[in-house]
A = this chain, B = another copy of it.
Amino acid sequence: MEVYFIGTGGGAPSKRGLPAFLVRRQGFNVLLDCGEGTQITMINHGLNIMAINLIAITHLHADHVLGLPSLIQTMGMYSRKEKLYIIGDVKDLLNKVFEETYFEPPFKIEYVDSYEDNELKITPFKTCHVVKSQGYLIEEKDKKNIDIEKLTKEGIKDWRIIRQLKAGKEVIFNGRKLYPEDYLITKKGIRIAYTGDTAICDSVINSVKGVDLLIHDSTFLDDINAKEYGHSTVTDAATVAKEAGVKRLALVHISGRYKDAKIMEEIAKRTFWKSFLPDDLSYYILKD
C-alpha cells in the first residue's frame, strides 16, 4: 500500500497544494479529499486519475472539495465507464455544479457511507471541526495463511489435508485430529487513518488506535489556539499519535504562514518521535 501526498497545505493556496491524498493498493485506489488543483497535479505527475475507485471527502470546506467537480468531469471527458464510489456529503454540491456546467457523468457514481470488499474496508470516524466532518480509516483485512513450516515439521504434506485446514475445517491425520487454528498464521492487514480538519479530540484518538500510518491535521505551530479554529497544532497531532499508539504520523494541512515548515517536524518529534512532514508529491510505502 502506498500513500501519495498530493497536497499537504492548509486552506489558503500556498507553495503546498490544497488537501488531497491518494492511497494506492493493487486493484483499488482511494482519493482522500480533493482540493482545487488535485487533478492537475495528478495528471502532470503521472498519477492516473482514471484508476481512482473511491473518493472520500472529509467535509465541505472549499479547500477539501472544490477540485472534485472538475476531476469527475475530466474522468467523463476521458470516457470513464467504471463505477465511482464516493463517501462524504457531496451529492448536492456535485449535482448543482454539473447542472450549471452542462455536464452529466457518463459513468455511475454510487454514494455510500462506507465501503467493504473481500480485501479492504473504509469507514468514517467522528472528527472535531467547525462544521460537520469525518475522518476515514482504510483497513486491509487480515489474511489467514497456512503455516507450511509447521506442517512440514509434522510430516503433513498431503495437499488435500492442507486445503481442508486452509478452508478452516478440522481433519483427521494418522488418527489425530488437526484443528485449523493451529496451522493458520494471521497476516495483519495494513491500516491507515486520515483525519481531515480536526481539533485534538478523544473520538479521533479512540478511532485511530494502533494504525500503521496516521495522517493528521497539523495546521499550526504551538503559537496559535488551534482548537478555536477546529484545527490542531503539531503538538496536538503528535499527542494524538502517542495516545493512540500509532506506528507513524504524517503532519499535513500545513498553514502557508510557515515559510520553512521543517521546524514543525522537529517540534512534533519531541512528543512523538515517529512523526514526519511530507512534501507535496512525496509518497510513503507501507509494507506487508
Chain A residues in the interface with B (C-beta under 8 A)? 11-15, 17-18, 36-37, 39-40, 43-44, 60-63, 65-67, 69-70, 73-74, 77-78, 92-93, 96-97, 100-103, 131
CA distance A40 to B96 in the complex (A): 24
CA distance A157 to B272 in the complex (A): 82
Copies of this chain in its oligomeric complex: 2
CA distance A96 to B93 in the complex (A): 8
Given contacts A60-B102, A92-B100, A101-B65, contact A15 B44 (CB under 8 A): yes
Q: Least Cβ distance of A45 to chain B in Å?
A: 11
Q: Least Cβ distance of A219 to chain B in Å?
A: 13
CA distance A104 to B18 in the complex (A): 20
Docked-complex contact A103 and B62, CB < 8 angstroms: yes
Q: Which residue of B lies closest to A38 (CB)?
A: B36
Residues of B within 8 Å of A103, CB to CB, are: 62
CA distance A269 to B126 in the complex (A): 60
26 contacts between A and B (CB under 8 A): A12-B74, A13-B39, A13-B40, A13-B74, A14-B43, A15-B44, A17-B40, A18-B40, A36-B36, A36-B37, A36-B39, A36-B40, A36-B70, A37-B40, A60-B100, A60-B102, A62-B69, A62-B70, A66-B70, A66-B73, A92-B100, A93-B96, A93-B97, A93-B100, A96-B96, A97-B97
Docked-complex contact B102 and A61, CB < 8 angstroms: yes
Closest CB pairs A-B (n = 4): A93-B100, A96-B96, A66-B70, A62-B73
Q: Which of A18, A67, A101 has the most chain B CB within a 10 Å cutoff?
A: A101
Residues of B within 8 Å of A15, CB to CB, are: 44
Given contacts A36-B36, A36-B39, A40-B36, contact A97 B66 (CB under 8 A): yes
Contact of A101 among B60, B73, B77, B101 (CB under 8 A): B60
CA distance A65 to B66 in the complex (A): 12
